[in-house]
Chain A
Amino acid sequence: GAVVSQHPSWVICKSGTSVKIECRSLDFQATTMFWYRQFPKQSLMLMATSNEGSKATYEQGVEKDKFLINHASLTLSTLTVTSAHPEDSSFYICSATSGPSSYNEQFFGPGTRLTVL
């Protein structure tokens, strides 16, 4: 149980285009999903927290107009990188939690490698 998937696993795009990454909880309802960014050999940096049906909460320094997050259902959240540039190239990882009763546990997806040319 507690499986989180991401799609695509990797994507290459041209500078200026937009890329959408999907995060799905496969066997549980995710009241909260998180989006992280990870640079090579570095730790996970929380970008935003998203609750189903409400606007995402972005961490300081993360541009909400550039990283659009939608959490339309209890099993799906999407991250859209708009007008991508080479500096947006990174490993993007989502995680999900089923709510307070789960007592903090987060289940992570396998990540999406984004390369912007």
Chain B
Amino acid sequence: GENVEQHPSTLSVQEGDSAVIKCTYSDSASNYFPWYKQELGKGPQLIIDIRSNVGEKKDQRIAVTLNKTAKHFSLHITETQPEDSAVYFCAASRVNNFNKFYFGSGTKLNVKP
């Protein structure tokens, strides 16, 4: 089955700096890679996703890159703000596998004012 690894487990940055979170996956058939933000006591919220036919996607301060050959994808947050502080999860899934998501272990991002 799919195995998703996520690094780092914790990340502290100064407000205004950039943050990068990386994930690797094992199943070359995976073709959908979402990123979720989870605040304490709440459910995960989709912040950005990328499909395997695209190498990069950007939405304002958030971007995701995908390297299919190396089987890794990364989340980039620029100009971080205190409200970006949360736990971020990456996931991988593939069509025809009942849409099952395989989640990374999570990264706790702390943005210091």
Which residues of A are in contact with B by a Cβ distance under 8 Å?
4, 6, 32, 34, 41-44, 46, 49, 57, 91, 93, 95, 97, 100, 103-111, 113
Bound-complex Cα distance A84 to B97 (A): 31
> Cβ of B93 < 8 Å from any Cβ of A?
yes
* A42 in contact with B106 given A103-B32, A108-B43 (CB within 8 Å): yes
CB neighbours (8 Å) of B41 from chain A are 91, 111, 113
Contacts A43-B105, A108-B45 known; 12 new A-B pairs at CB < 8 A: A44-B89, A44-B103, A49-B98, A49-B100, A91-B41, A93-B43, A93-B44, A103-B51, A104-B31, A106-B99, A108-B43, A110-B42
Interface of B is mostly: loop
Which residues of B are in contact with A by a Cβ distance under 8 Å?
31-32, 34, 36, 41-46, 49, 51, 89, 93-95, 98-101, 103-106
Q: B93 near A104 (CB under 8 angstroms)? A: yes
30 contacts between A and B (CB under 8 A): A6-B43, A32-B99, A34-B101, A41-B106, A42-B106, A43-B104, A44-B44, A44-B89, A44-B101, A46-B101, A57-B98, A93-B43, A93-B44, A95-B101, A103-B32, A104-B31, A104-B34, A104-B93, A104-B94, A104-B95, A106-B34, A106-B99, A108-B43, A108-B45, A108-B46, A109-B43, A110-B42, A111-B41, A111-B43, A113-B41
Name the residue of chain B whose CB is nearest to the CB of A49.
B98
Closest 4 A-B residue pairs measured CB to CB? A104-B32, A108-B43, A110-B43, A111-B43
Q: B95 near A100 (CB under 8 angstroms)? A: yes
